Amino acid sequence: MSSLVEEHEVVEQSDVLTVRGLTVSVRDKILVEDVDLTVGPGERVGLIGESGSGKSLTALSVLRLLPEDVHARGSVRLSGIDHDLIGADERQLSRIRGRDLAMVFQEPMTALNPTMRIGDQIAEAMLIHRTVPNRRAARAAATDLLGRVQLPGVARAYPHQLSGGQRQRVVVAIALANDPALLICDEPTTALDVTVQAMVLDLILQGVAARESALLFITHDLAVVATICQRVLVMYGGRVVESGPVHEVFTNPRHRYTQGLLAASDLDSAAHRLPTIPGNVPAAGNFPTGCVFRTRCPHATDLCTTTPPWTGPSPHGYACHHPAPELVTVETKQGKFEEVADG
């Protein structure tokens, strides 16, 4: 782990987001533990993991929008901001939110105020931060933004008059309104149909590219991450278990969880029976000590009761006592992972 930190310290100044040792807990239960995370300028980083692995909590900690009794420790720094976001007060935070740091949430149906017109909700984002001179300019900018997410002419509509995909595009427009340095998307397309998902993903990517914003993209869908991200972090049980460039992680997973996940989600090439990960994802706070995956890991030994150290000075790192062997030649023919791992 320390090596990773060192490696990134070199470029620390230029990183948009730097999270160090983030631990999120509710009362005595630890939900997210010791997460490190950096996002470089213009970089697109994916955060994947199954339900309950702590992805949303991580994202919300960055914005400091955690539910009331949930607390975050560690350090969250944003380039250009001279204080740590953890420990900052509401006044400081509200200046950052929506301006340097924007977020798109999962549920498009409830993310918009049902009693306010779409245009006003977008305009508000700019008015709050005074990035436009006046109300009229804000309206014009809002209409413009709506046009760019391909929703011309809905400024005077109310949210309930739009479909889920359309609402999500409005949310994206709100998030991009002030050209944020970092856009965080928390499963923005999970609730959408594939065809609509394709469009929304495309819009997000275009928007991010046009503004040279960095993107932290949270999803449980490996294929989506593979499509839009350059780098990926795999979370399980509140910890980052593996991280690295998308191509490397997905073609040569080292952590046994990543490996299992890839195999289980690959429906296309698997035979009649799918490779599975035994057992279920434990409930929050019920993950085992040591290696969080050890109760479901076919390779677990006594060693796994100790927390595995972070391995990998290279961009591709993982935390596992029994990693899958490194492949020399990148094999894209699926279905071989298991064989390789067994070998």
Partner 1 sequence: MSGLGGSVDDEGGPVSDRGAPESALGVPASGADVSTGGGASTGVGGPTGVGGSALRRSAGRRLNPSLVVGGIIVLVIVLTALVSFVWTPYDATLVDPAVRLAKPSWSHWFGTDKFGRDLLSQIMVGSRTTLFVGLVAVGVAAVIGVPLGILAAMTRRWSSELIMRANDLLLAFPALLLAIMFGAVFGASTLTAMVAIGIATVPSFARVIRSGALQVMRAEYVLAARAAGRRPFPIALRHVLPNVTSLITVQASVSFAIAVLAEAALSFLGYGTPPPTPSWGRMLQESQEFLFSAPRLAVFPGVAIAIAVLGFNLLGDGLRDRFDPKLEDRR
Partner 2 sequence: MVLRLVERTAVLLVSLAVSSVLVFGFMAVLPGDPARVALGVNASDEAVAQLREQFGLDRSLATQYLDWLGGLLRADFGTSYVSKVAIGPQIFDRLQVTLWLVVVGMIVALVVAVPAGTVMAARHRKISGLALSAISQLGVAVPAFLAGILLIMLFAVKLGWLPANGWTPPASDPGMFLRQLILPALSLGLVQGAVLTRYVRSAVLDVLREDYLRTARAKGLRPFPALWRHGLRNAAVPVVTVLGLQLATLLIGAVVVERVFVIPGLGSLLLDGVSNRDLLLIQDVVMLLVVAVLVVNFLVDVLYVALDPRLRVGQR
Partner 3 sequence: MAEPVIQVTDLVRDYPRPRTSLLRASPPVHALRGVSFEVQEGERFGIVGESGCGKSTLLRIIAALDRATSGQVVVEGTDITRLPERRLRFLRENLQLVFQDPMSSLDPRMRVRDIIAEPLVVQGHPASGERVRELLEAVGLSADAGDRYPHQFSGGQRQRISIARALAPRPRILIADEPVSALDVSVRAQVLNLISDLVDELNLTLIFVSHDLSVVKHVCSRVAVMNAGQIVETGPTADVYAAPTHPYTRRLVSAVPTLQRALSGATTTDLVKGVPST
Ligand X SMILES: Nc1ncnc2c1ncn2[C@@H]1O[C@H](COP(=O)(O)OP(=O)(O)OP(=O)(O)O)[C@@H](O)[C@H]1O
Residues in contact with partner 1 by the rule CB under 8 A: 26-27, 29, 50-52, 68-69, 106-107, 109-110, 114, 160, 164, 187, 190-193, 220, 281, 283-285
The phi, psi pair for 278, rounded to 5°, reads -65, 155
CA pair distance 28, 329, nearest whole angstrom: 46
Strand partners, 152: none
For residue 253, give both structure tokens.
Answer: 């997973």
CA pair distance 246, 308, nearest whole angstrom: 22
The answer for residues whose C-beta is within 8 angstroms of residue 116's C-beta and 6 or more apart is 158
CA pair distance 302, 240, nearest whole angstrom: 21
When the beta carbons of 109 and 327 are compared against partner 1, the nearer one is 109
Answer whether 41's CB lies under 8 Å from 230's CB: no
Closest CB 285 distance from partner 1, rounded Å: 8
For position 284 contacting ligand X by CB under 6 A, the verdict is yes
Closest CB 218 distance from ligand X, rounded Å: 7
Closest CB 106 distance from partner 1, rounded Å: 7
Q: Which residue type occupies 98?
A: G
CA pair distance 292, 273, nearest whole angstrom: 26
* Contact of residue 158 among partner 2, partner 1, Ni ion, none (CB under 5-8 Å per partner type): partner 2
For position 270 contacting partner 2 by CB under 8 A, the verdict is no
Closest CB 288 distance from partner 1, rounded Å: 16
For position 195 contacting ligand X by CB under 6 A, the verdict is no
* Contact of residue 82 among partner 3, Ni ion, partner 2, none (CB under 5-8 Å per partner type): none
The phi, psi pair for 48, rounded to 5°, reads -120, 165
Closest CB 261 distance from ligand X, rounded Å: 13
Among 25, 53, 189, 243, binds ligand X (CB under 6 A): 53
Residue ranges in contact with ligand X by CB under 6 A: 26, 31, 49, 51-57, 67, 70, 220, 284
